[in-house]
Amino acid sequence: MVSESGLEGLRILLVEDEYLPATEVADMLDALGIEVIGPIPDLEGAMAVAGRETFDGAILDVNLRGEAVFPVAEQLLARNTPFLFATGYDEWVLPERFRDFPRLTKPFDKLSLERMTLRMLERSSRPTEAG
Amino acid sequence: MRRDDLIAAAIGGALLLAGQSAFAQNADEIRKGIEQYREMLQDGNPADLTVAKGEALWKTKQGPRNASLEQCDLGKGPGVVEGAYAELPRYFPDTGKVMDAETRIVHCIATLQARDVVALTSKPFSGGGQPQTELEALVAYVVEESRGHPVNLPQEHPEEIASYRRGEKAFFYRAGPYDFSCASCHSADNQRIRLQDLPNLTKAESAQRALEAVLSSISDGFMTVDRNWRFTRVNAKAAAIAGMTPEAMIGRRVWDLFPDTVGTMLHRQANRAATKRVAVEFEYFCPRLDRWFEYRIYPSAEGLTILENDVTARKEGERRRRLLTAELQHRVKNNLALIRSLSTRTLRRAQSLEDFAETFEGRLHALAVAQTLLSRSAAEEVDLHELLSEELLPYDAREGDNLSIHGPVVLLKPKTAQLLGLVFHELATNAVKFGALTTGGRIEIGWTIEATKEGQLLNWSWVETGVPAVSRPADAEGGFGRDLVERGVPYQLGGTSRFEITGNGARYELRVPLTENVGKLRLTDLGPV
């Protein structure tokens, strides 16, 4: 059964380096009616997919096999695709320019995932301050 | 008593040298004598024994009244010894006289203990080489109890003032064959007879030198500036921090010498101290020196006094602690996320609540085993062999019997150890279920390291034999263990994996690149040399 989340039919990239949490989040997204791109476990793979595919948003684990996910975030920022961080790190550990982005604190449940995904999409639909 | 002799000789020598200096002006030798004396005092002053003896005498009940001297009033009230000597001699209303420590103690012995004091007072001082007299010991104790109290001679009662005048007169009275007064030796510069080379603070020049000596000895940077922001004093440390000499700084204006600090917090805070006349304290990062400093700036009559302390090491420690805590938080949360996904996964296939509880507990235990091994290692690595043994321990698997484990020493990183710990646990559970560990089967686990163009590859296999084919349904391994092997390991660790059911058992194979993030071969494992 697909819930009435307003998220049905969206395509979301999922980047997460651990197998079990990755499959669990993918299942949650699936239950929200979201089509999952990935999950992708490493930076190289994520960069490739981010450069190749089109999608509505991305959920990014911060630490990928010892590498930071920020190059992917930069790429998404450049092409105006919204994203959120899913991490166990406190926000001050993130580089300053990424501290204001939506963040899901691990572990999280389906409801938090749904809310934060909605917030991520709302943010992107607002006109940019610089614009 | 060899040490006492040495000390006596040193005191004698120093005194002799000091005496000679009055004539020979041999300041160097005096200094050497004093240094030698101080060195000997380093491992204990024998006078401490006299103090202890005095304290015992003070507190011992004796005499016709069988009383101690503890209620003796030394001027600060009965029973108060601490600090009393610093205020003696003084006027005592009960005797109507100005009394010094000795006479007051004798008075107490006579009144409190009712002892005959003639014997005490007829020979108040010991001769050379003799043990200290009772009075000397008592005085030593009383004096010791005033250590650290500044001399504060009472000069209020007319008798006290008169007594002071008489003493002053006697001090300067010249008499005898040499026509000396006390002052001849003890008051004039360079004629002091004593065992301390203290500066003469009554003379401006030597007081200045003494101040400079103190300032150069402290480990904080010290500077003073006048109201025009010109440096008036800079100690060696402050100059060293600036990479200059005190001479190069004194007389120059602060903001001319250090233009890079203009407009910074240092500039603002110093201005605040100067204009508002308040003390300020703050930490400041100096980009020019790439170091953190703690500043304390106090307004002074002249301008400002500035203390500067390099706190870079402390700041670095704080930063490291913060990062370590954040990293720990991150791992705890990641582990919770892993456990969450494990429970969701287990729940989905559970036949009943009991089934869930049993399966989940087993998997949680497998994670705990990996965690325990990780926490044992300072480098946070787990020995692959050890991980296997520990994970198989609950399943009646004994090496050399129904189990063999062979391979070089491979050390696994935390996430790898967690995942493989779960894999091993699942394979062991299946082995029990399908017979390899219950119906006379065997498990052979082995691995080798293969060198490839991309780096080292871990070739790992788990081979079950001696299991009747009938006991294992063809699709039996569609469960969690097989999923972890076939999908989990390639996803998380990279590489490839394979599972096959053989005629008399099953075979799992992993080919995992030994990247920095996965683990490494221990190179020291070369056997005995």
- B352-375, pLDDT tens digit by residue? 899 889 899 999 999 999 999 988
- Residues B139 and B102: beta-carbon distance below 8 Å: yes
Closest to A86 in 3D by CA, of A31, A12, A33: A12
Structurally, how many domains does chain B consist of?
A: 3
- Residues B137 and B58: beta-carbon distance below 8 Å: no
What percent of chain A clears pLDDT 90, i.e. is strictly above it? 36
Best of A17, A18, A20 to mutate (most B CBs within 10 Å, chain B): A20
- Residues B216 and B47: beta-carbon distance below 8 Å: no
Together in a domain, B97 and B239: no
Together in a domain, B127 and B213: no
pLDDT of residue A124: 67
Together in a domain, B385 and B486: yes
Give the contacts of A38 (CB within 8 A, at least 6 positions apart). Answer: A13, A14, A15, A16, A22, A26, A46, A49
Annotate B103-136 with DSSP letters as a single string: HHHHHHHHHHS----HHHHHS-SPPTTSPPPHHH
Give the length of chain B: 529
Q: Do B333 and A105 touch (CB under 8 A)?
A: yes
Closest to A40 in 3D by CA, of A64, A75, A71, A8: A64
Asked whether residue B19 is assigned to any structural domain, the reply reads yes
Residue A54, classed as helix, strand or coil, is coil
Asked whether residue B55 is assigned to any structural domain, the reply reads yes
pLDDT tens readout for residues B163-195: 999 988 888 888 888 888 887 776 666 555 655
Q: Do A18 and B336 touch (CB under 8 A)?
A: no
Asked whether residue B363 is assigned to any structural domain, the reply reads yes
Which among A23, A42, A88 has CB closest to B330? A88
Q: Do A21 and B338 touch (CB under 8 A)?
A: yes
Asked whether residue B163 is assigned to any structural domain, the reply reads yes
Asked whether residue B316 is assigned to any structural domain, the reply reads no
- Residues B336 and A106: beta-carbon distance below 8 Å: yes
Average pLDDT for A50-69: 89
Cβ contacts from A onto B, under 8 A: 72
Domain that holds residue B181: 2-186
Asked whether residue B238 is assigned to any structural domain, the reply reads yes
To the nearest 10°, the Cα dihedral for B77, B78, B84, B90? Answer: 60
Asked whether residue B122 is assigned to any structural domain, the reply reads yes
Domain ranges of chain A: 11-124
Together in a domain, B297 and B402: no
From the CB of residue A77, how many other CB atoms can be counted at a distance below 10 Å?
Answer: 15
From the CB of residue B124, how many other CB atoms can be counted at a distance below 10 Å?
Answer: 13
pLDDT of residue B452: 87
Together in a domain, B430 and B285: no
Which among B333, B494, B516 has CB closest to A88? B333
Asked whether residue B476 is assigned to any structural domain, the reply reads yes
Query: In whole angstroms, how far apart are CA A106 and each of A113, A114, B333?
Result: 10, 14, 6
Average pLDDT for B215-227: 89
Best of A14, A17, A19 to mutate (most B CBs within 10 Å, chain B): A19
pLDDT of residue A93: 77
Q: Give the CATH number, domain containing residue B287.
A: 3.30.450.20
Of B337-341, B439-443, B484-488, the poorest mean pLDDT is in: B439-443
Q: What is the predicted ipTM?
A: 0.88
Which among A41, A105, A107 has CB closest to B340? A107
Give the contacts of B322 (CB within 8 A, at least 6 positions apart). Answer: none
Long-range contacts of residues B370-379, Cβ cutoff 8 Å, at least 24 apart: B370/B414, B370/B417, B370/B418, B370/B420, B370/B421, B371/B335, B371/B418, B373/B417, B374/B414, B374/B417, B379/B411
Which among B415, B494, B515 has CB closest to A18? B415
Distance from CA of B82 to the nearest CA of A (A): 56
Together in a domain, B92 and B153: yes
Longest CA span, chain B: 128
Q: Do B341 and A87 touch (CB under 8 A)?
A: no
Q: Give the CATH number, domain containing residue B180.
A: 1.10.760.10
DSSP B487: I
Is the bond preceding A102 in cis, omega lying within 30 degrees of 0? no
Asked which of B186, B214, B231 is the last residue of a domain, the reply is: B186
- Residues A113 and A32: beta-carbon distance below 8 Å: yes
User: In the CATH scheme, what is the homologous superfamily, with its name and number, of domain A11-124?
Assistant: Response regulator (3.40.50.2300)
CB-based contact, A63 to chain B, within 8 Å: yes
Which among B334, B492, B517 has CB closest to A66? B517
Together in a domain, B372 and B299: no
Together in a domain, B171 and B224: no
Q: Do B333 and A107 touch (CB under 8 A)?
A: yes
pTM of the model: 0.60
Pairing of strands A57-61, A11-15: parallel
Q: Give the CATH number, domain containing residue B411.
A: 3.30.565.10
To the nearest 10°, the Cα dihedral for B60, B64, B70, B76? Answer: -150
Could you give the residue ranges of the DSSP H alpha helices within B195-245? 204-217, 236-242
